[in-house]
Amino acid sequence: MMAKGEIDDLCINTIRTLSMDAVQEANSGHPGTPMAMAPVVYTLWQEFLRFDPEDPIWPNRDRFVLSIGHASMLLYSMLHLTGVKAVNPQYERLGELAVRLEDIQRFRQLDSKCPGHPEYRWTSGVETTTGPLGQGVATSVGMAIAGLWMAQYFNRPGFEMFDYDVYALCGDGCMMEGVSGEAASLAGHLKLANLCWIYDNNKITIEGHTDWAFSDDVAVRFIAYGWNVTRVGDANDLGLLTRAFQTFRNTADRPTLIIVDSHIAYGSPNKQDTSAAHGEPLGAEEIRLTKRTYGWPEDAKFLVPGRLREHFQAGMGQRGQALRTAWIARFEEYSKSYPDLADQLYRMQHRQVPGGWDKGLPTFPPDPKGLAGRDASAKVLNIVAKNVPWLIGGSADLAPSTKTRLTFEGAGDFSPENRAGRNLHFGIREHAMGSILNGLSLSKARSYGSGFLIFSDYSRPAIRLSALMELPVIYVFTHDSIGVGEDGPTHQPVEQLASLRAIPGLITLRPADANEVVEAWRVIMTLRHEPVALILSRQALPTLDRSVYAPASNLARGAYVLADPADGKPDVLLLATGSEVWLCIQAHERLAVEGIKARVVSMPSWELFERQNQAYRDGVIPPGVGARVSVEQASTFGWSEYVGSAGQRIGMKTFGASAPLKELQKKFGFTVENIVAAAKGRLAVARG
């Protein structure tokens, strides 16, 4: 039997050598950080992490986030050595390893479970997709918020259903990215004591030494944020690491930052090149020298000593299994004592909505004055949130404008004093808000966040990751066009709709009136794997008379025929979204007076429309009708797909201007007269 120090060294060096060998085999990757941080992650996983390898989606597990995603081999090595099992999208445990040795041998190759950066839903045990630096730590804040909220909502005396901790390993790059500062500031303000960031202070980035661009005193910075800060002077000192993690466990009033000083060192004393930390293999000779330093067989590749798996099973494995088994038994008793809460917990964890989630949704009567999209959404959101207790979210300091505050009794504000609050205040931190929403969603809360559409640019990296991870995050963006008027071009979104539509997997929804807003929420709440950008107006939109026009429920198909000639055979098509649909309705009526048969198509979601079969799409936009006009107060980019070469796109080609709305509409051609003229012009061209 090996002494503890010997088996610890054997495990750490196995992690290191697997990482070296995988990067060398792939001729691509980052071996330095996995080598330096192996003692840190080994200590955390083996001694502290409450995680059952047999069930990596157990709801009350501790979360480990590898924010330095380029060090992915560090995580893959741990997943393999600890025997983490695979889980499929149906939440079924498959009984096979999430990461096999063959996957490590095929690191960064097609279809390997070990891609270049960790990917959620692709490799079991990966808690979030990381790669863009700073995203992991920012996402971890959402996981921590979710843990505290769920504990407050679900826990009852004798039934502690949630008390998990969140650990995130980050580096100099994460600390430099602005999103980490946004997230750390909010985490300190909220006193998230279940959150621990581990900072690999190795002073190296791709260009070289951090002194070239980074001289922050990180410890002082985080103390100013309201964090507890502790330091480990040597990443190889397991005793100091143990003490640091115990310090985190004992800190009950704030998040913890553990600064770990490390350096990337190899076997050769002359090895000075830092590039291996950031994208290059060490080379065969350097690997041999390094393995010799470790006392490792120099020519062995992907060697995993047989004793290691038993060692991990005796530590992390047994601890995690015991905790999970006790939790399952506790949940069975909880189900008897609190059946309604147990049902909610189960549904939340499986991304289901409760029965009757849509009860009370309004139908808005026809109204020529109408209602702003944001106001209609506010009414719907408050009804839905009352029916779905785990729908939580907020705004980047704009809730009074986006109308996303939950106002029903008991909603409350999430704060250090009230962990049950449903309203989150992100402050003016759009990027961190998006990342935190992802963390909430990864923890199975249904999250939403809001802002002005123009500021979706500030959230875009997190929105992209929502789509990449297939998370049903809800983004509510108001002030959706040049309709914001006097605020001017800095606040008038022009290219944002097109850029959101360009994100694969993201559904954009721009409803035309209050009843389309209701139907948009019906679509949103039934989604389980897709994020949505709900685009809403600041200005009032007439509420259409649905006894005259097609039902708003057609929104679920993405686009539909709203108004048509009596014989259903149009000569010209008017295609629009949002507030511009009403302009097309008026143009349709004027054209009818002149004997021109126009069809109005409301197109709130291109993505949903493209999912319909060809027959339906051709029925809405007949291929034989070449005279087409699109109308949208945004960039015309993308509309060619629908109007074709013979069509005309009425849209924005500049950044707008500061003026009252009616003046802007006239200046940029968003008038009934201009649409009528365009329709006639396109019809003339089509008829030759």
Domains of the chain: 4-324 (3.40.50.970), 367-542 (3.40.50.970), 557-687 (3.40.50.920)
pLDDT at 204 (0 to 100): 66
Q: Given the DSSP bridges, would you call strands 598-602 and 572-576 parallel, antiparallel or unpaired?
A: parallel
Tokens 């095929």 found at: 106
Torsion sign, CA atoms 593, 594, 595, 598: negative
DSSP 649: E
pLDDT at 275 (0 to 100): 37
pLDDT at 267 (0 to 100): 45
Residue 25 neighbours by CB distance under 10 Å: 18
d(CA 624, CA 576): 19
Q: What are phi and psi of 425, to 5 degrees?
A: -110, 105
Tokens 């900072």 found at: 199
What is the set of active-site residues? 430
Provide CB contacts within 8 A for 243, sequence distance 6+. Answer: none
What six digits make up the tokens of 76?
A: 């893959």
What six digits make up the tokens of 433?
A: 């808000």
* 164 three-state secondary structure: coil
- CB-neighbour burial class of residue 70 (10 A; exposed 0-12, middle 13-18, buried 19+): buried
Split the chain (688 residues) into runs of 10 and give each run's mean pLDDT.
84 96 94 94 98 97 97 97 92 90 96 96 96 97 98 98 98 95 98 98 72 86 98 96 98 98 57 46 91 92 93 97 98 98 97 96 96 98 98 96 96 97 98 98 98 97 98 97 88 96 98 98 97 97 97 98 95 97 98 97 98 98 97 96 94 93 91 97 89
Provide CB contacts within 8 A for 217, sequence distance 6+. Answer: none
d(CA 408, CA 98): 44
Q: Which residues pair with 256 in a beta bridge?
A: 196, 228
Contact (Cβ atoms closer than 8 angstroms) between residue 38 and residue 12: yes
d(CA 41, CA 75): 9
- CB-neighbour burial class of residue 545 (10 A; exposed 0-12, middle 13-18, buried 19+): exposed
Residue 363 neighbours by CB distance under 10 Å: 10
What six digits make up the tokens of 556?
A: 């679920």
* 501 three-state secondary structure: helix
What six digits make up the tokens of 504?
A: 């694969």
DSSP 334: H
Query: Helical H runs in 27-158?
Result: 32-43, 72-81, 101-105, 135-154
Indicate the helix (H) or strand (E) that contains 532.
strand 532-535
- CB-neighbour burial class of residue 419 (10 A; exposed 0-12, middle 13-18, buried 19+): middle
Tokens 């207790």 found at: 389
pLDDT at 268 (0 to 100): 45
* 545 three-state secondary structure: coil
pLDDT at 573 (0 to 100): 98
Provide CB contacts within 8 A for 450, sequence distance 6+. Answer: 393, 394, 395, 396, 398, 399, 402, 404, 475, 476, 477, 478
State CA 355 to chain mean position distance: 26
Torsion sign, CA atoms 590, 592, 595, 600: positive
Residue 310 neighbours by CB distance under 10 Å: 11
Indicate the helix (H) or strand (E) that contains 220.
helix 218-225
d(CA 434, CA 450): 9
- What residue type is assigned to position 351 of the chain? R
Produce one character per residue of 487-503: b if its CB has 16 or more CB atoms within 10 Å, e if not.
beeebbbbebbbbbbeb
Indicate the helix (H) or strand (E) that contains 679.
helix 672-687
Indicate the helix (H) or strand (E) that contains 86.
strand 85-87
pLDDT at 208 (0 to 100): 67
What six digits make up the tokens of 580?
A: 């511009």
pLDDT at 202 (0 to 100): 81
Contact (Cβ atoms closer than 8 angstroms) between residue 66 and residue 114: no
